[in-house]
Amino acid sequence: MATLLRSVRQLVPGLALAVTLAGGAVAVPEGMPPARLVRIPGGAYVPLTRTTKDPAQINVAAFLLEERPVTNAEFLAFVTANPPWRRSQVSRLFADSSYLDYWAGDLELGARAPAHSPVVRVSWFAARAYARWAGRRLPTTAEWEFAAGAGYTRPDGRNDEQLNRDLYAWLARPVPDLQPAAGRGRPNFYGVRDLHGLVWEWVDDFNNAMVTGESRGDSGLERDLFCGAGSVGAKDTTDYAAFMRVALRSSLKANNTTTALGFRCASDATP
């Protein structure tokens, strides 16, 4: 498997090559450098919900996380280099019918998809394919939540009142017609931006959001997050935003896309 992966990476052209292959038809947007990888030191992540059989905490090894979500322009370079991921060609198995439907065309962003705004309406399959093409991967839930658990000035953001105000102000607003540019949010303690307050983000193991182990039947899995039962077994019942992220991940299938769901990439930290 590892050998296969390596050979795949050798075969997949990088961004610059992709643009060349497209014969210069797609302009690389000016003014925004590639997403910088920020080093997140390791630490313990306490999952929002767990059963008595699950570990009390998950140890997250140090990793690298992109400073901001992937933009429309970056995703355009990806679909340019990978025709099967273009809107008109993608299989419904991998992306539902609203995949990239706010773009003007297969290879045209148009007025509703500003180049530097986060790409949305992408499926988990597409996000994952992008990450592999870029030589990176999607962060795990534990990694994403660990990084997003930081406040503006502290590694533990739970009592960061300004962060909470910003977060709920975002939740209080409907999805805007035009997403603002990525990378403009206030950096958190680690220097990562837009984890809260721009778009929801895919994680690699999103589908484990409510999988709580063998101790409950299939039908019990989702019920535990509905109504008052949602707080049973939760470590911190006052973290409403975390409940919303879990609920969103739980509602999704891997080929789904929504108007406020994008992603960013991560990478293993080199020791």
Partner 1 sequence: MKTSRLPATTALLLGLTLLAPSNRAAEGPTDAKGLVPLTPDVLALPVEQAILTSAPHVPPPIKRRYAARVVVNLEVREVVKRLSDGVEYTFWTYGGGVPGLFIRIREGDVVEFHLNNHPSSKLPHNIDLHAVTGPGGGAASTFTAPGHSSQFTFQALNPGLYVYHCATAPVPMHIGSGMYGLILVEPKDGLPPVDQEYYVMQGEFYTTGKYGEEGLQSFDMAKAIDERPPYIVFNGSVGSLVGDKALTAKVGERVRIYFGVGGPNVTSSFHIIGEIFDTVYPEAGLSLPNHNVQTTLVPSGGAVAVEFKVDVPGTFILVDHSLTRAFNKGALGMLKVAGPENRVIYSGKEIDAVYLGAQAEAGSESAKREAELKSQIAAEIKSNPTIAGLTKEMQIEKGKQVYMGLCFACHQPDGKGLPGAFPPLAGSDFLLADHERAVRIVLKGLTGPVTVNGQTFNSVMPPQEAVLTDAQIADVLTFVLNSWGNKGDALSAAQVKAIRNENH
Q: Where along the sequence are the contacts to partner 1 (CB under 8 A)?
A: 1, 4-5, 8, 11-12, 82-85, 89, 91, 93-94, 98, 125, 128-129, 132-133, 164-165, 168-169, 171-175, 200, 204-205, 207-208, 210-211, 219, 221-223, 225-228, 230-231, 238, 240, 243-244, 246-248, 250-261
Name the burial class of residue 225, with classes exposed (0-12), middle (13-18) and buried (19+) by CB atoms within 10 angstroms of its CB.
buried
**Phi, then psi, of 250 in degrees rounded to 5:** -70, -25
How many beta carbons lie within 10 A of that of residue 238, not counting itself? Answer: 10
Q: Phi/psi at 39 (nearest 5 deg)? A: -80, 125
Of 45 and 200, the one with the shorter C-beta distance to partner 1 is: 200
Using the minimum distance from each CB to partner 1, give the nearer residue, 52 or 159.
159
| Distance between CA atoms of residues 221 and 40, nearest Å | 31
Minimum CB separation of residue 241 from partner 1 in Å reads 8
Rank residues 86 and 116 by Cβ distance to partner 1 and give the closer one: 86
Nearer to partner 1, 38 or 258 (CB): 258
Please report how close the Cβ of residue 98 comes to partner 1 at its closest, in angstroms.
6
The residue among 43 and 262 lying less far from partner 1, judged by its C-beta, is: 262
How many other β-carbons are positioned within 10 Å of the β-carbon of residue 134?
Answer: 20
Which residues are within 8 A (CB) of 214 and not within 5 positions of it... i.e. 6 or more apart? 53
Provide, rounded to whole angstroms, the least separation between the CB of residue 9 and partner 1. 10
